[in-house]
Amino acid sequence: MRRIIIIAFAFLLACGISMLAADNIPLISESMPALGEVGSFVKYGDYALFIGGEKHLQVMDFSSPQQPELITGIDIPGIEGSATFIDVYEHYAYLFFNGTVAIVSLSDIFAPQLLSTAELGIGLVSQSIHDNVLYISRNPWDSYNVYSYSLSDPLSPMLLDSLTVNIYPRSISCGDGFLVCGDTKGIVIDTSDPANLQLLSEITYISSTEYGYGAIAVSGTMLVVGCDYYVSVYDFSKTPYLQGTISLPYRVEGFTGYIHGNSFWCQCLDYYGNDGAGVMGIDFSNPESPQVCYNEQFNYFSFYMDEELMSLCANQNAQYIKFSVLDSSNTPDFAISYPMESIGSIVANDKWVVGANSNRFIQILGMLEDNTTVLPFYSFTPNNFSSLKLYGDMLLYTTRAEPYQNGSATRYLVLFDLVTQTQKAILELGPSFWGNGEIIVAGDIAYICNKDEGLFVVDISNPEQPLLLCFLQEYINYDCAVVGGGKLYVGSGYSIRCYDISLSPVPVFMYEMPLYLQNPFIKPFKLLKKDNYLYAITFGRYLACIKLGNAEAEEINIYETRYSTNSSLMALGDGLMVGSCDGLAVFSLKDPMHPQEVAWRDVERVQEGDYIVFP
C-alpha cells in the first residue's frame, strides 16, 4: 500500500472548538503531492532524496519507476535556507548547509528523523562521502582547504586531517585511494590514509580557452573531465594518466559530471543560436577513444543524476521535473514527469481536495470519510488558470485568453465536472488585466472579483449553460468578497462596500464602511462574516472587526496580529484562524469585537511563498 499524505488543513478544521484552548497548534502533515523547486538528489535503494523544495529534505518512491510518488518531507529546525548538498551513508542522510551538516535517520523512510547536527565551518564549497570518510572543501576567507572526517560514528563526524590547495575546490569526486577537486584545473590528492592527506599532482584540463567549466567524475581509478568543448579520460592506474580526449559539438556546463557504468554524463550548453541547454553522454569503455553516445537539447534546466536515475529541473516556467531511468542501452528517455511547482492554493469540501501548482497544474484528490486522509485521483493542466472554487462536484476556475481589449485579455469562467473529468462549460466574462480574483458562491450564483476592475455575477444553476447576469463596475481592490444574510460585502480600496442581494442576485449598493478612518493603510484582502459581525485581514498585520448595522457599520475596531503577512482567514469553531506564510494564529471571539489570541504555530519556510490557503 502506498503511504497516504495527510492534509494538515483538514485536521485543523476537524479540531474545531477544542483547538481554541490549546497552547499551540499541531500540524500533522505538510502538503499535497508536489516536489517543489529542487537542487539535487541522491538515490537510496528504491527512493530518491531531494533537497530544497518546500522542505529541506523530500523523499520520492521509485519502486515503480514509471510512477514515482512523493511520500514525505522534513524540515531541519533552526537552520535557515535550503541545503547545498545531500549525501547518504549507511542509513543516514547528510544535508550540508553553509557551515552545518544535518544528519537524518532513514530507518523508517516514511518518517525521517533528525538525529544530530555538526558544525563544519563556514565557506562550504563541495563534499563527497567515500569509504566511510567524509571529504569537504571550504573557502574560509583567503585560503582553499580540503578536510577529511571519519564517519565511524555516523552521528558525529570526527576531523582527521586538512590540506591547503592552491585551486578553488568547487567540486570533489572520490576514487580508489585518491580524490580530485578543482575548478578550471584539478588537484589530485592521495587519500589512501585519510588521516594524512597528500598532494599528488595538478592537472590542467584540456580546453580551447583559458577559462572553462571543469565537470568531473571519478569511478575506481578513472577520472573523466568535461571542460569547454572537450572531454578527457584519465586512468590513475597507468602512466601517463591521460588516455584519450574527444572534441564536443557543445560546451560543457557546470562543475559536476556523473559516471554510470562506462558512460560519463554532463550538462552542456549550445552557443550557436539555439536557446537552451542539453544533456550529453560520453562512452569511455575504450578510454583511448571516447565517443559521444547521447546528445539532446532542452530549454532552461538543471541536470542531476545518481546511479541510473536522471532528472531535469526547469529553471523558468517550471511545471514538471522530468526523470529518466537508464536501461542497458544507456539511452535516456525523459518520459516520466512529476509536478514540480509548489502548491499555491487549496480548495476543499467534504468530498474533494483540489490544489493548484502556480497557474499551470491542478491536482484532484478525494477526501475519505475521516476527513483527514486523501487519495490522489488525477490531475490536468488548464491554460493560464486562476481562482479555484468548489461547487458540489463542480470545480470553478477562470482563464485568460483572446480577444484582447485595450491591452487586457478576456477572462473566462470554466465549469469542470470532477466526477466525469470533463469541462461542462466555458463562459466569456469580460476584459481582465490581472486575470485573478476571488470566486464566491452563494446558492446558484457565483460572484467573481475582477481585481481592481469590478465584479462579475454569474448564474451557475445550469452548469452546462452558465449565464452572466451583470458586471459590477466598482473599484474592487485585492479581490475579496463575502456573502451572508442577503448581503454582499466587497473590498473596495481602503473600505468595504455593502450590497443588498436579498431580492435579486444583482447587487444593489447600500452603504460603505471606511476602514481608512481607523487606519489609513488598511486594504481588505480577505473577508469573513460570522453572525452580525464582519472580519477582514490585510496583507499587513491588521485584523478589522466590524459590527454590522442596517445602514452603516455600528462599530469598527482594528488590531495588530502576531504575523505581518496575513493572507488567509477562516472560521474555526467559535473563533477565527488567521494564516500567513510565517504561521497560524487562532483567536477566541467570546467578545466578537475584541478577539483574543489563544493559540499559534510558526511555519518554517525554506523557499519564499506567496500565501497559505485553507479549505
Place 371 in a pLDDT band, splitting at 50, 70 and 90: low
Contacts of 369 (CB under 8 A, 6+ apart): none
pLDDT at 20 over 50: no
Neighbours of 469 (CB within 10 A): 15
pTM: 0.69
In 3-state terms, what secondary structure has residue 13? helix
User: Which segment of 401-405, 431-435, 603-607 scores lowest on mean pLDDT?
Assistant: 603-607
Q: Residue 612 above 70 pLDDT?
A: no
Q: Average of pLDDT values for 299-326?
A: 79
Query: Under the phi-then-psi rule, with left for phi > 0, alpha for psi from -120 to 50, and beta for the rest, what region is 129?
Result: beta
What are the helix (H) ranges across 319-358? none
pLDDT digits (tens, 9 = 90+) for 122-144: 889 999 999 999 999 998 777 89
pLDDT at 515: 86
Q: Is cis: bond before 463, omega within 30 of 0?
A: no
Q: How many CB atoms lie within 10 A of CB 583?
A: 18
pLDDT of 184: 84
Question: Sign (positive/negative) of CA torsion 261, 267, 269, 274?
Answer: positive
All residues at 6 or more sequence positions from 286 whose CB lies less than 8 Å from its CB, including other chains: 244
Task: Taking residues 65-83, report their average pLDDT.
Answer: 82
Winning range, highest mean pLDDT, from 423-432, 489-498, 566-575 = 423-432
pLDDT at 605 over 70: no
pLDDT digits (tens, 9 = 90+) for 237-261: 988 899 999 999 888 988 899 999 9
| Minimum mean pLDDT range among 176-180, 456-460, 505-509, 514-518 | 514-518
* pLDDT tens figures, 103-117: 999 999 999 999 999
DSSP label of 256: E
Contact (CB, 8 A) for 40 and 304 = yes
Q: Using CA atoms, how far apart are residues 384 and 432, in angstroms rounded to an integer?
A: 13
pLDDT tens per residue across span 553-570: 999 999 999 888 787 888
Q: What is the mean pLDDT of the chain?
A: 83
Q: Which amino acid is at 132?
A: N
Please report, rounded to a whole number, the percentage of residues in the chain having pLDDT higher than 70: 84
Higher pLDDT, 122 or 547: 547
pLDDT in tens, 464-473: 999 999 988 7
Share of the chain above pLDDT 90, in %: 45
pLDDT higher than threshold 70 for residue 187: yes
Distance in angstroms (rounded) separating the CA atoms of residues 195 and 169:
19
CA dist., res. 92 & res. 508, Å (int): 64
Confidence of residue 13 (pLDDT cuts 50, 70, 90): very low
Tell me the pLDDT tens digit for each residue of 489-520. 998 878 899 999 999 988 999 998 988 887 77
CA distance 471 to 491: 16
